[in-house]
Structure 1
């Protein structure tokens, strides 16, 4: 994977971890205003997640890179995103758009991080859908995820 520069998040944590991943998925956006995106099509998504914290776990990790890969790439790779429980073709807040996929990745990761004793936090998810289009999802500070 090519090294890329991602938007950074200002924070006061001691450690910051970034993990790059990619996955190939198909999707469609179930709304007439989506134009050609109403038709099923695929992308090779490139994701970067930024996680920060002050404490390392018992293995000396902020978080294990493999657990992040399982939560994202292994979950979504070679699937139809519309078939996942996290997405709903009846509610635009849950259509599998790049914005919603980025938010869903954040929610999956943060839910896992909340179970860890060292309590790292996911600061942002950068999700590239095409070479020219990407989304950055950052939760509002002080606001917990709805998941």
Structure 2
């Protein structure tokens, strides 16, 4: 994988973890205003997830890299995004995919005693287009 550089999140946590991954998925935005995207098509999405915290678990992790991949890759790889329940009432735009990845990661992090936080999710849909999702400060509390 080519090394990617993403916008940095300013924070005061001691540790910052970044996980890159890619997955293949299809979607459509069934509205004429979406142009060609109104038809089923696929992408190889490149995803970067930033997690930070001040404390580590008993093994010395904020969270195991493998667990992050399981949460995201297993859920979306080689699937039609429109078929996922989180997109039942909304279109799976890149913005919403980034938001849903943040929600899934955050749900997992909230179960951990040392409470790391997901600060940013970047979803690259094409080589020239990507979305950055960052939660509001109150969502990190």
User: In which range does the TM-score fall when normalised by the shorter chain?
Assistant: over 0.9
Q: Which shows bigger deviation, 101-110 or 27-36?
A: 27-36
Deviation of residue 113 (structure 1)?
0.3
- Mean Cα deviation higher: 49-58 or 27-36: 27-36
From 93, 99, 104, the counterpart of 2:95: 99
2:48 & 2:87 partners in 1: Cα distance? Answer: 21
- Trace 1:130-145 onto structure 2 (pairs within 5 A): 130-143=126-139
* TM-score, normalised relative to structure 1: 0.93
Q: Shift of residue 142 of structure 1? A: 1.1
Partner of 1:122: 118
Alpha-carbon distance between aligned partners in 2 of 1:104 and 1:74, rounded to the nearest angstrom? 14
Q: What aligned pairs does 1:12-27 form with structure 2 within 5 A after superposition?
A: 12-27=12-27
1:143 is displaced (CA, Å) by: 2.8
Which runs of no fewer than 5 residues in structure 2 stay unpaired?
A: none
Higher helix proportion (structure 1 or 2): 2
CA offsets 1:45-85 (integer angstroms, 9 cap, x no match): 00000000000001110111011001111110000000001
Give 3-state SS (helix, strand or coil) of 2:87's partner. Answer: coil
SS in 1 for 2:21: strand
Give, in whole Å, the separation in 2 of the partners of 1:46 and 1:73: 11
Unaligned runs of 5+ in 1: none
Equivalent position of 1:68 in the other structure: 68
User: Which stretches of structure 1, 4 residues or more, deviate above 3 A after TM superposition?
Assistant: none
Q: What is aligned with 2:36?
A: 36
1:93-141 Cα shifts (integer Å, max 9, x gaps)? x310000000000000001000011100000001000000000000111
CA RMSD of aligned residues (A): 1.2
Q: Aligned with 1:25: secondary structure?
A: strand
